Amino acid sequence: MIRLSAPGMVFGLLCAMYFILYVDRVNIATVAPLVKADLNLSNTQLGLVFSAFAIPYALFQLVGGWVGDRWGARFTLAACCAVVAGATVLTSVANGFASLFVLRLALGFGEGAAFPTATRAMTSWMPEARWGSAQGITHSFARLGNALTPPMIAGLLVWTSWRGSFVIVGLASLLWLCIWVWFFRNDPRQHSAITAADLAALPSRVDDLQKTSALVRSRVPWLRLARRMLPVTVVDFCYGWTLWLFLSWIPAFFFENYHLNLHSTAIFSAGVLFAGVIGDSVGGLVSDRILRKTGSLRVARCSVLVAGQLGALVFLVPVVLIHNLTVAAACLSLAFFFAELTVGPLWSVPMDITPRYAGSASGMMNFGFGVAGLVSPSSFGYLVDRTGSWVFPFIGSIMLLLLGLVFAARLRPDLPFE
């Protein structure tokens, strides 16, 4: 009989969480045309609804990772999913722009600490040599959530309304919460199913990480850590601008720019977003493979980051220049694949730099992603309303990817934070 190890189960639960949280996050993009018509919203208002999620999400990055470091991943992720489930279910009774905006704020608050805290859990439960792969694979499940949400929600709409679809996906979050609290423990050594072989494969610094938990509770060197993480935050902002654009507007882009029906829109959107699933997994695996071959953290992380942002930049150019459905679908898929190559190595950088403060450091990094979420979706909607063009905002992504490429080449994950 094949035995699934305790670390394997924890990793599986984290993958499931990434999937579920992204379904909760992007389901509104799939039903956006229906919500827009039902609640009588403009593209500008719809963009503000998309961005509402990112307001508390960005702010909570700065403290969410610290909360995970202080209180542990078991409690923190349970609390996150409780808020997410409540906000998602209550979205089913939204009756206008204001209520929808407030509920998206609540969703952002619930998800704000989730990924930095998951990084904290991985630091203790995953072998160091697999940190890049672990980040890439867990985020690939997030992108799988992106890819499967359009057809899943379209399927639910066959027998329920857009409001009913929010109830169903919200209840899935509650189910995950119950399983997580039952199985997970902050310290692997305290888990009843852990074996000596499992512990031998976990990070050699796991003792130090657990022993310094009291220090983390008392103080984090915020200013010094923030200065060290600032270049990583900039890279995450540049990447995040493009990701938010894809998560928020790709279904509406196909629906309105190419006049597809909702079913065809879901198929094209899923195809584009599925490319990110592959990109996430490949990026993390390649980064760890380079690390094993070269022994250089800088080469392993920075080379994949640069290649990913360069490839995304190149394949967004035809979307701007050519109005053709096939070209747009192919190039958007390739652009998303290359953009997602960066996720595994990028999320590994805080773990490389400071395992002790991995939650706080990754929260600082992901603050850039949250800020991008504040401005990217709303800017896209505003520009579409003002210019009538669905491709013009992609120019901003091209410019920011170029900036991110420059900063990515200068990162130093090989220099530990003392």
Report which listed range, 175-179, 218-222, 266-270, is most confident: 175-179
Distance CA 139, CA 357 (A): 21
CATH of the domain at 284: 1.20.1250.20
Mean pLDDT, the chain, integer: 84
Report if residue 177 sits inside a domain: yes
Report if residue 223 sits inside a domain: yes
Q: Provide the residue range defining the domain that includes 28.
A: 6-409
More confident residue, 40 or 252: 40
Residues 78/181, Cβ–Cβ less than 8 Å: yes
Distance CA 198, CA 59 (A): 36
Question: How many domains would you assign to the chain?
Answer: 1
pTM greater than the 0.85 cutoff: no
Measured in whole angstroms, how far is the alpha carbon of residue 236 from the centre of its chain?
Answer: 11
Report if residue 260 sits inside a domain: yes
Report if residue 166 sits inside a domain: yes
Report if residue 415 sits inside a domain: no
Report if residue 416 sits inside a domain: no
Alpha-helical runs (H) found in 295-357? 297-321, 325-340, 343-353
Distance CA 97, CA 36 (A): 9
Residue pLDDT, tens place only, 282-336: 988 899 899 989 989 899 999 999 999 999 999 999 988 887 888 888 889 999 9
Report if residue 417 sits inside a domain: no
Which residue has 């439960």 as its token pair?
125
Structure tokens at 39: 């609640």
- What pLDDT, on a 0 to 100 scale, did the predictor assign at position 189? 85
Report if residue 344 sits inside a domain: yes
